[in-house]
Amino acid sequence: MSAAPSDSFDYDYIIIGSGFGGSVSALRLVEKGYRVLVLEKGRELKAKDFPKSNWNLKKWLWMPSIGFRGLFQMRFFRHVTVLAGVGVGGGSLVYANTLPIPKRGFFESPSWAHLADWERELRPHYATARRMLGAVPNPTFTPVDRIIKQVAEETDRPFDKPHVAVYFGEPGKTVPDPYFDGEGPDRTGCNLCGGCMLGCRHNSKNTLDKNYLYLARKRGLDLHADTEVKGVEPLAGGGYRVVARHGHTRLRRRKRTFTARNVIFSAGVLGSVELLLKLKKDPKGLPRLSDRLGSKIRTNSESLIGVIGQQRKHDLSRGIAIGSIIQTDEHSHLEPVRYPAGSGFFRTLMAPHVAGENSAVRLARMVGTVARHPIRTLRAAAVPDMAKYSIILLYMRSTDGTLRFRLGKLAGKRMGSGLESGAKPTASIPEATELARRISDKIDGDPYSLITETALNIPTTAHILGGCCMGDSAENGVIDHKHRVFGYEGLYVIDGSSISANPGVNPSLTITALAERAMSLIPTKAALEASRSES
């Protein structure tokens, strides 16, 4: 820490981003007596601001250049399409509530196992994270879960229900805070509308604004939404100046400047890594950042397949976002995902799912599928309500190949991807295709994928990780095992970009647990000031 007095700064800590890393850091630092500010580029959304379906693009999508300031963004890279959340609460607004603990291989991965005994150290923090997020085993069993269980039994694979961050209670009934001895907000029992990933309009999903952020604000946290950080500059004598733009539109945006002794980057891979890459190129910014910045980008090696059924008798949209799991082997699993009734936007981006690594082969097979089954193809394209009559399948595995993200050569150009190590990410995974076809048979359906997957074999992920990975020096990492940035005292990275191995499962709980651990290593403000006065 620098020697500058605490009261010479606007804040002790400024946190960039309000997702799982930023929200945890905010609450724990405020509890330790620090003055904390969270800066979030997205909006602060209430129930009325969430779309009823994903056809309401202005409320759903984050595309501020054309005035869309919703909660969901899609970024297209050469090697992967990334889905992410934006807004106060970050990814918790759009994630599927699912909170699994990774298998042992994640903790023992050579990429970071030498830095700490991760399984042992994180165990109590996983427990805390699940308690704070209100995680419970899914108590529901829907027709989709029944189909998934049938396929699991037919293929002799384990079937399970995930822990989910949902308040079930009595459907539609609002009760006083059931989680934090009355300190938290009222909650309402889940009505199984299937709208978890569009933003919960019924006060049932345990998003971060209902727990970590809510409690932090009660304890004095300052939070500024619609505020995008553009610069972080070291100050003479220690600490940092943070430069941001505040406002809903370009014409109304104004410059805001804050100072803090410490800064935590918690804006995820799309936010933290891109901002840090720009700051590394800025002589007034953070030019001493490790050259490993942007490397070791991972996904969960996913395949995303939508099975559109031909039958119109049963509503498959009822339930929570993810209610069941097939554990296909030690390294992979399959989850059914749903959107609420009326949400069919993705069908505008889909094409028949086909196998094959070669793009020419895949295109030929796609054309062949349409030619052989023109009526079924038209019927699927004209499905009156895709959410009601389809099952989205998310297949994940823990294989380990990595990408590298870099800025374009032109000033202000956004990040691009390059292959770094291992096999190139692929949307063509034979086991995922085989399971999709089995599930298709159950609902008289046909498998579809995003056109980028079918035509280009570019996979889609909601779990982009890495880019600010851990190491024992700046030569092999951006941060150390305590999340401290090499070369800059008082800088931290605490979000998905700091995850240094492939968890192979939905990573939100792991990001939360890592943030809890990082905060447990920071002393209280009183203890820190006492140690300074003694020295």
Is the alpha carbon torsion for 22, 23, 28, 34 positive or negative?
Answer: positive
* 269 DSSP 8-state letter: I
Evaluate whether 208 touches 90 at the Cβ level (below 8 Å): yes
**Closest among 398, 403, 419 to 501, alpha carbons compared:** 398
The question of whether 333 is a catalytic residue gets the answer: no
C-alpha pair distances (Å), 138 with each of 148, 218, 506: 15, 30, 16
What sign does the dihedral 70-71-75-80 (CA atoms) show? negative
Between the CA atoms of 77, 80, 81 and 82, what dihedral angle is there, to the nearest 10 degrees? -100
For residues 158-177, one letter each, b for 16 or more C-beta atoms within 10 angstroms of the residue's C-beta and e for the rest, the string is eebbbbbbbbbeeeeeeeeb
Q: How far is CA 177 from CA 131, 192, 199, 210, 309, in A?
A: 14, 20, 20, 10, 40
130: part of which helix (H) or strand (E)? helix 118-132
CA distances from 235 to 217, 255, 492 (A): 28, 18, 16
Q: In whole angstroms, what is the distance from residue 148 CA to residue 404 CA? A: 36
Among the options 353, 463, 481, 483, which is catalytic? Answer: 463
Backbone angles phi, psi at 375, to 5 degrees: -70, -45
Residues taking part in catalysis: 463
